[in-house]
Structure 1
Amino acid sequence: MSSSSSKRQTLFISTLIISWYSSNIGVLLLNKFLLSHYGFKFPIFLTMCHMSACPIVFLKLVPLQHLKSRSQFLKVATLSIVFCASVVGGNISLRYLPVSFNQAVGGTTPFFAALFAYIMREPGFHWFGFIICIITATAARAFKSVLQGILLSSEGEKLNSMNLMLYMSPIDVVALLPVTLVMEPDVISLTLTLAKQRQYMWILLLVNSVMAYSANLLNFLVTKHTSALTLQVLGNAKGAVAVVISILIFQNPVIVMGIGGYSIIVLGVVAYGETKRRFR
């Protein structure tokens, strides 16, 4: 690869990562605002709104790819359910945890995060929120990253990012609808009531859904052009950025241990990037 091609590739990937960070942190903070400060206490319905935005935004921007085999469909369906569970769990945890602690659990070893949070009386600690966050922040997210990497890169089953989102979205909506009706039965009436009280309710939900779609699409693009491992490393760094921004916006309390932990994460990301560059 020539020097100019390498620079263009680096610029392209850097732009993808910056765009992914911006949309992901934006939707995270808006989710927190809606679920904890705005009175909209329906994380499952909120996730369904996110997934419903995909077919609307898609609008034939790229040619439709057809699924080639039952095996490919099963992988897409599995990714959809795991992805959906991860997002729903993350949104539920945001109702109970500050963004800073939500991201800390996602980027550190859960056992020690729980132990230190309990011992040091982490501000805003909530056991239910923590357990939900732990389930979605470890195995589900790691499995999702690997499986989406296969679907985006393998020769026999390769799908582009927009087509993958297009196939996943209806599966997620179908899976979420009965869960929403059972666990959030009053969502429609209460949302309509809230919309009468809050002038910008529908605008916020629309912006939130479009941002979520953008974040998911960029997540797939970053995976395709880097790797599942790189995505996890970058995700940890993103968590550190989200923590700083959330503290500035929501005034979340923070402890010295938290600052130290995220400093280690940032140093780890820098070391990973330098090691990867040297061994190319």
Structure 2
Amino acid sequence: ILFAAFSLVVSGVSISCLNKWIFVTCRYPYPLFLSALHMLSAICLVCTCAPRPSGELPPRAKARVFALSLTFCASIALGNLGLRHVQLSFAHRIYAATPLITMAMSQVAQGRRQGAVKYAAMVPVCLGAGLSVLGEVDFSQMGCFFVCTATVLRGIKSIQQSVLLQDENIHSIVLLYVMAVPSFCILLSATLLFESRALWELVSRSDSELWAFLFLSCASSVLYNLSGFYVIKLTSAVTLHMLGNLNLIGNLLASQALFGGEVTWLSVAGTLLTLSGVVIYQNSDSLGTSVTRLGFWGRTRPHRQK
């Protein structure tokens, strides 16, 4: 679990920085084609380094995998579109509200109730995200819309992954493969429709720096998706996004150091408040036990004798 969590945080910061660098510094504004390359990399990895899945999935599982592919493509594409209009740190502050969305959807769709401490941890997480948005200097309405929509889709995607990994008991590598194939077809079709010049510009420019960053971005994407699957398999969908909020520190520093993003004190306060919520959530079990022992919860009133 620790190794999967560490890989998730490192690859999450890496892929965000690399994608932003490709869009801004390398001036290659084709998020759909980049997402298609990410899926193609996952297919190549499974075909070369891991055995392909044997046997056929049940029809219900196939339908759920296709629905996951649609949600995944939409969330990734909208997230990359948002990075073209907003700062890297701003996007991840909005993503900090994903655990609350995932928790609510998990309770509605799967009937999984969380403890009172976990719900209390959502207060500083979402409040910190709100303060960070208020403290943003370069605000873009279009970029904010893309990022907010991607945030909701990320929560839906995590619930779908949880169902396939835990309820359908599909292996993480197998799920990555069966999800990557339809996702690549969907994203490639969208690329031909909306970004028809992407491949021609990539070949005609002959930019070795762009090729290097594309390769690193694809490698980080595969590691991020695989680590995320293992985290969901071993813990839960909400834990996945709570760990993802640790990317706030790395992306905040990267946005200021690499892309010259201005960070206000209100944004810093919002980030610290969000991280405090992450700490509370990660220690919710021990905190809930301590609070119960102190008698704040679980106390029953004695019956009065008539």
TM-score normalised by the chain length of structure 1: 0.86
Alignment correspondent of 2:88:
99
* Segment drifting more, 268-277 vs 161-170: 268-277
Amino acid of the structure 2 residue aligned with 1:185: S
Greater relative CO (CA pairs within 8 A, separation 6+):
2
Amino acid of the structure 2 residue aligned with 1:91: N
Alignment correspondent of 1:10:
none
Contact 1:65 1:159 survives alignment (8 Å): no
Quote the Cα distance in structure 1 between the aligned partners of 2:134 and 2:5: 36
Structure 1, residues 79-131: CA drift from partner, whole Å, max 9, x if none? Answer: 111011111111111111110111111114999899878876x3221111110
Quote the Cα distance in structure 1 between the aligned partners of 2:270 and 2:251: 14
Q: Secondary structure at the match of 1:74?
A: helix
Alignment correspondent of 1:35:
23
Contact 1:62 1:162 survives alignment (8 Å): no
Alignment correspondent of 1:129:
143
Quote the Cα distance in structure 2 between the aligned partners of 1:84 and 1:119: 29
* Segment drifting more, 227-236 vs 35-44: 227-236
- Which is higher, the Rg of structure 1 or of structure 2? 2
Structure 1, residues 49-82: CA drift from partner, whole Å, max 9, x if none? Answer: 0000012111252462434311100111111110
Quote the Cα distance in structure 1 between the aligned partners of 2:56 and 2:279: 39
How big is the alpha-carbon RMSD for the aligned residues of Structure 1 and Structure 2?
2.4
Amino acid of the structure 1 residue aligned with 2:59: R
Quote the Cα distance in structure 2 between the aligned partners of 1:170 and 1:243: 33
Q: Taking structure 1 as reference, are residues 193 and 63 closer, same or farther at Cα in structure 2, changes over 3 Å only?
A: closer
Q: Secondary structure at the match of 1:128?
A: helix
TM-score normalised by the chain length of structure 2: 0.79
Structure 1, residues 19-51: CA drift from partner, whole Å, max 9, x if none? Answer: 111111111100000011111110000000000
Quote the Cα distance in structure 1 between the aligned partners of 2:286 and 2:247: 20
Count of equivalent residues: 262
1:152-231 equivalences in 2 (<5 Å): 152-154=165-167, 157-195=168-206, 198-231=207-240
Structure 1, residues 148-188: CA drift from partner, whole Å, max 9, x if none? Answer: 0111111xx21111110100111011111221112112112
Q: Does 1:73 align with 2:62?
A: yes
Identity value in percent: 26
Query: What are the ranges of 5 or more consecutive residues in structure 1 without an aligned counterpart?
Result: 1-12
Amino acid of the structure 2 residue aligned with 1:191: L
Q: Secondary structure at the match of 1:200?
A: helix
